[in-house]
Copies of this chain bind each other. A is one copy, B any other.
Amino acid sequence: MKREFIVRALKARTDPFFNINDLPGSGGRMDLVARCISSALFVSHKIRRNTVIHVVLEGPSKPPKVVSFNGETLRKVSPDERNIASHIRIALKIGLSLKKGEEKEVSPGIKIANKSWEKLVKEKLQECKVFYLHAKGEPFETIEKEIDRNDRVCFLLGDHLGIPRKSELFLEKLGIKKISFGRVEYLASHAIVITHYKLDFIEYY
């Protein structure tokens, strides 16, 4: 099963001019973004080679930017926030010279694109079964039978501010289902861990 995640971070910095020692403040919650990447890609002593995570950054000063980490080819990245954020910063430096719609490989398994969240979601809809994770959605169990081990699946998540209402309507119009892990509102990084856990059961047992 090929797994993808798209995390939208409304305030996360889109140029490299943030302080790596202050990811929550000067990075615009880049700590949260880094934790999502860590949750998506790492298991004990291994990288999930079947997983890609795209973080869509929409903060100052060059929005939007999509930084993608592909587990299949990723190397030399550690699970700690600071290391992941330093890779994002290198990507954003290269991103400064991108024209609209352009994308560039930064290092093995990492690329940056000058692309909107809406465009990325529409692209994924051509390739994957796409779901939107939200506490108020239908139980995850309702889609378990729709997913099998040969599928490509993609899960959309918001940050601490959530997906704006207008964007939720955009997802509704595309027919993307809202899926939940229950009443507890989990952090985005934790929702990614739970998604993997659920998919591991579908794929391996």
Report A's interface with B, CB cutoff 8 A. Answer: 21, 23-24, 31-32, 35, 38-39, 42-46, 78-83, 135, 160, 181-187, 190, 193-194, 196-197, 200-201, 204-205
Contacts and interface: CB of A to CB of B under 8 A. Distances in A.
11 contacts: A23-B80, A24-B78, A31-B82, A35-B38, A35-B80, A44-B135, A44-B185, A45-B160, A81-B82, A183-B204, A190-B197
Q: Which of A186, A190, A205 has the most CB of B within 10 A?
A: A190
Which 10 interchain pairs have the tightest Cβ spacing?
A44-B185, A31-B80, A193-B193, A190-B193, A81-B81, A184-B200, A194-B197, A24-B80, A44-B187, A43-B186
Contacts of A190: 39, 43, 193, 196-197
A41 to B, nearest CB: 11
Q: Which of A21, A43, A46, A80 has the most CB of B within 10 A?
A: A80
A37 B46 CA distance: 22
Contacts of A21: 21, 82
Count of this chain's copies in the oligomeric assembly: 2
A182 B204 contact: yes
Nearest to A83: B24
B80 A44 contact: no
A39 B182 CA distance: 17
A185 B43 contact: yes
